Structure 1
Amino acid sequence: MTLISRVLGFVRDMMLAILFGASAGMDAFLVAFKIPNFMRRLFAEGAFSQSFVPVLAETRHQGTQENVRQLVADVSGTLAGFLSLLTLLGILAAPLIVLLFAPGFADDPGKFELTANMLRITFPYLLFIALTAMAGAVLNTYGNFALPAIAPAFLNISLIACALWIAPRLEQPIYALAIGVFIAGLVQLVLQLPAVARLGLLPRPRWAWSSPPVRRIIRLMLPIIFGSSVAQIALLLDTILASLLISGSVSWLYYSDRLMEFPLGIFTIAIATVILPSLSRQHAEKNARSFSATLDWALRLILLICLPSAVGLFLLAGPLLATLFQYAAFTPHDVDMSRVSLMAYAFGLVGFSLVKIAAPGYFSRQDTATPVRIGIVALCIGMSFNVAGVLLALHLKWAAPHAVLAVGTSLGAFINAGLLLRGLVRSGVYATQLSWFKELGRLLLGCAVMAVVLGLMAPPLSWWYEASAAARAAQLAQVVMAGALAYFVTLWLVGVRPRHVLRSETSL
């Protein structure tokens, strides 16, 4: 289901690149969407889900069905009330928010006004999608992962439909994308309600700010808002700095980030979503062995997938961008500018993935202080690098200063991941094994062989700029399949078998 959603996301981004390119209007929409989407990742995928799921799992394990219903009623009512107020404030203060998150747009009054107007349309997405995340968390806790995983596909469908059918009818076509975001949030929420109702967990929401479970979730949320979303905060700060650079910088970072998010979304977030309820249940049951085994399985599987993905993104950055986006308004120059930032993001893919897997090891145990401290350290280092790097790039007149932002974000992700993993080991909740070094060596060997194959088979970048769409797609498919075959054959020859990544000690 996640794969379907991500593939539709690529179709969506191809449509946006073809119709709007890396224009000032596209920059404006990306900021108008990124602001509520950033908050969505804090309240929905980040702070809320990471704090709500452990409490829900504990209530289900130790209480009755009526206790679960009461928890859902209290949390849904309180969450909806708070976010309704926040949404209203966001709509009224849209110009101030744009000035805060994209200060560079103030130099272009038309671009600034366009961004503020679209933000008023997109901001309600935060309310809809946070309630959607709550419904998804309930379904995940009860073992239903398919419906919440497919729901994001409707964002892609909505944006594609609005870009094709509404945009041509508007005086300013870019507004159609903001309308598409609003519609998508509402549709995703409505889609999940029947499944929640079938569980008997769709009670009437009620405001319950003083309820002990709600207060407990809020206490857990406050530090997680920062700790679990350091990567998203860093990416948003990248947008602030990018808004100060030449027009198109925000779009170049967006398109390269989207390609990096593809393996991150398909594999890493999917696995992290699955293990959080499991880790929460195992912690509630005081099953330390299964807890450690679940973390170990997730980390091994992530490295098996994300190491070659990072190598592939780095070596095939240009061919991927040219094949997917270089049509109509998206020029070869846009491909070249996006390519350098994608190569930098590829470096950080493993770091981003390890953070997503390690963080549930803390949140499932309701430990929020440690990730906060670690997140602050990683963010400060990454942003210090970004500010210094951008100033140096501008002073030396580098052609692609926006790529420095991607490098700093990737660096911060690795620091964050390393400190999180070290904390899990030192606390004794995750027991590493000596076989890790041997298995990591095998994976790196497979990546090296794959890199050689990709380097030999991929034509020079100039070919990708000039070839037809069909020729690009066919050539890219051949190169990717050859690289994947080389990687997995190498692993097989050095002794890696499917059983090495299958669960044996515990079950999800």
Structure 2
Amino acid sequence: MSTVTPSGGPEPAGPGLLRSSAVVGSMTMLSRVLGLLRDVVMAAVVGASANADAFFVAFKIPNFLRRLFAEGAFAQAFVPVLADYKEDGSIAAVRALIDRVAGVLGGTLLVVTTLAILAAPLVAALFAPGFVGDAHKFELTAQMIRITFPYLLLISMTGFCGAILNSYGRFAVPALTPVFLNLSLIAAALVAAPWFEEPVFALAWGVALAGVVQLLFQLPFLYRLDLVPRPRWDTRHPGVRRILKLMVPALFGVSVSQINLLLDTVLASFLPTGSVSWLYYSDRLMELPLGVFGVAIATVILPSLSAHRAGLRMAQFSQTLDWAVRSVLLIAVPAAIALLVLAEPILVTLFQYGKFRPEDVGMAALSLQAYSLGLAAFMAIKVLAPGFYARKDTATPVKIGIIAMVANMALNLAFVLPLLYLYNIGHVGLALATSVAAYLNAGLLLRGLLREGVYVFQPGWGIYGGRLLAASAAMVIAVVWLCPPTATWLAWSLQQRVWWLALTCGAGGAVYLGVHIALGTRLRHLRTPVPPA
């Protein structure tokens, strides 16, 4: 049965996945560029100090949980169930599902948020146990958790609204929404911080304000679809029960990479002051290509995969997955090379001002290089996991997630202790362990999809792989040839740094694309052969 719009008419065919990915990617790119500007301003205001470490922990806890609820397990469980209700064509049933999911999700998060605020010191001790021995840092973290934790409730409901919009092909609005977090934090750092005795408190209040603004921004667009949620607490609703059944194991399975990053923060709290901040800045740079392209592609393929599964079109399901894997590799490989080779120049250009010292550049560059090694795996996980959740298979990703989690813990011990005691760079071991565990996670997800026969490699992988390797090799040569020593970057003015970094990245990208084109890659090769249902 064809799907319908809330007004009752037939739903028009959606845009191609490439175009939808481009829309999401462009909106996300705007957000990420502003996010970089935000981090530049924050680095100048708080640097990599003890107070900065405290803020980043207080911000990362609700932000991590947001990724579970808003971008991870909840979306992976909710979208396939919503697709089934749309496939049945009953608008009343769709509205009933949305209202009850809003009530259960919102009510649960309200309780969690209240408990976290009341028990802020316990939360701080749980997620940053290394701060307990530093009374000032620990108290600062607990105070800011009370301010930032409501962001979890607000942004998770924003993510819920965004999942509805994505399911109806309105990808641009949810992708644009994170812009308001960046604008709020930039304003907090530049305008509000001077009015606070401790500037990091201005950043904490900026996070809370951003949650309110982002949720309000989504509502008018849901109103146009006549799908504004009217929360109802009803855990007995069949759709809610199906979502909960899918979501509980998915909370772990789909977000293993994020859990690993959070574990890095926990362990980093025991390392020298600045370690949490170095990991934060390097993680943010790694998140730029991951968020712009990996999340964008994953966002648009989940509704399509769910629709193909609901319509029993498994050949198209496999072709969509294959397109997604090729697309993320096309971006992940050159992005990882750029981050690996240009780690210090990028950090110098963006952050080495104000309270961010040259020593911080060197430390953050090492962890950025370690993270960059795992970028392809991080992006692959984003597009492989939906292959399971679109089919309501939660058991397999959970098993894989447990394996990856245990491996990451073992690798932390294997890498951190030697690097800490030999070179005093234990934080690099945390990043490296996360990257290796991500490859294990992605490899097992891929093997599972291949074994079950729902993903079959499409023709042309040999030619595609050859072009990818050749273009990447040429890019490495161009970037290394153009990049001067770090001492030169440090001596340059801001204008010189920006100009030469743009020239180096632009030349590397031009060489990469040029070799691809010379070897026969064309735009039509990037378009998915399967339109979304």
Contact 2:319 2:458 in 1 (8 A): no
**Residue 481 of structure 1 corresponds to which residue in structure 2?**
506
Deviation of 1:492 (Å): 1.4
Letter of the structure 1 residue corresponding to residue 324 of structure 2: A
Could you tell me which of 482, 485, 492 is aligned with 2:517?
Answer: 492
The answer as to 2:404 corresponding to 1:384 is no
Deviation of 1:435 (Å): 2.1
What is the 5 A alignment of 1:29-428? 29-396=55-422, 398-428=423-453
Deviation of 1:99 (Å): 0.5
Following the alignment from structure 1 to structure 2, what is the Cα–Cα distance between the partners of residues 164 and 32?
20
The answer as to 2:479 corresponding to 1:454 is yes
TM-score with structure 2 setting the length: 0.94
Following the alignment from structure 1 to structure 2, what is the Cα–Cα distance between the partners of residues 395 and 24?
22
Deviations 1:337-374 (A, max 9, x none): 00000100110000000000000001111111100101
Deviations 1:154-195 (A, max 9, x none): 000000111111111111111001100000011100110111
Deviation of 1:379 (Å): 1.4
Deviation of 1:382 (Å): 1.6
Following the alignment from structure 2 to structure 1, what is the Cα–Cα distance between the partners of residues 229 and 405?
40
Deviation of 1:386 (Å): 0.7
Deviations 1:78-109 (A, max 9, x none): 11111100000010111111111111101110
Following the alignment from structure 1 to structure 2, what is the Cα–Cα distance between the partners of residues 228 and 474?
39
Cα-Cα RMSD = 1.0
Deviation of 1:504 (Å): 2.5
Deviation of 1:488 (Å): 0.9
Following the alignment from structure 2 to structure 1, what is the Cα–Cα distance between the partners of residues 332 and 521?
16
Letter of the structure 1 residue corresponding to residue 181 of structure 2: L
SS of the residue 1:244 aligns to: coil
SS of the residue 1:107 aligns to: coil
SS of the residue 1:310 aligns to: helix
SS of the residue 2:424 aligns to: coil
Could you tell me which of 422, 425, 441 is aligned with 2:466?
Answer: 441
Please identify, of 494-503 and 237-246, the stretch whose mean Cα deviation from structure 2 is larger. Answer: 494-503
Letter of the structure 2 residue corresponding to residue 392 of structure 1: P
Letter of the structure 1 residue corresponding to residue 365 of structure 2: R
Following the alignment from structure 2 to structure 1, what is the Cα–Cα distance between the partners of residues 362 and 284?
16
Following the alignment from structure 1 to structure 2, what is the Cα–Cα distance between the partners of residues 329 and 359?
40
Following the alignment from structure 2 to structure 1, what is the Cα–Cα distance between the partners of residues 349 and 107?
45
SS of the residue 2:457 aligns to: coil
Letter of the structure 1 residue corresponding to residue 493 of structure 2: S
Aligned residues: 507
Deviation of 1:506 (Å): 3.0
Contact 1:51 1:221 in 2 (8 A): yes
Deviation of 1:392 (Å): 2.0
SS of the residue 2:211 aligns to: helix
Deviations 1:455-474 (A, max 9, x none): 11000111111110000000
Deviation of 1:375 (Å): 0.9
The answer as to 2:43 corresponding to 1:17 is yes
Could you tell me which of 471, 490, 493 is aligned with 2:496?
Answer: 471
Deviation of 1:203 (Å): 4.4
Following the alignment from structure 1 to structure 2, what is the Cα–Cα distance between the partners of residues 357 and 202?
29
Following the alignment from structure 1 to structure 2, what is the Cα–Cα distance between the partners of residues 37 and 203?
23
Following the alignment from structure 2 to structure 1, what is the Cα–Cα distance between the partners of residues 319 and 526?
11
Following the alignment from structure 1 to structure 2, what is the Cα–Cα distance between the partners of residues 100 and 232?
17
Letter of the structure 2 residue corresponding to residue 481 of structure 1: G
Following the alignment from structure 2 to structure 1, what is the Cα–Cα distance between the partners of residues 464 and 103?
48
Following the alignment from structure 1 to structure 2, what is the Cα–Cα distance between the partners of residues 172 and 217?
43
Deviations 1:5-27 (A, max 9, x none): 01000000000011110011110
Deviation of 1:123 (Å): 0.5
Deviation of 1:35 (Å): 0.5
Contact 2:419 2:428 in 1 (8 A): no
Following the alignment from structure 1 to structure 2, what is the Cα–Cα distance between the partners of residues 387 and 222?
29
Deviation of 1:211 (Å): 1.5
Structure 1: runs of 5 or more not aligned: none
Deviations 1:276-328 (A, max 9, x none): 00100110010112111111111111111111111111000010000000001
Percent identity reads 55
Following the alignment from structure 1 to structure 2, what is the Cα–Cα distance between the partners of residues 206 and 497?
50
Contact 2:70 2:160 in 1 (8 A): yes
Contact 1:243 1:250 in 2 (8 A): yes
Contact 1:293 1:506 in 2 (8 A): no
**Residue 5 of structure 2 corresponds to which residue in structure 1?**
none
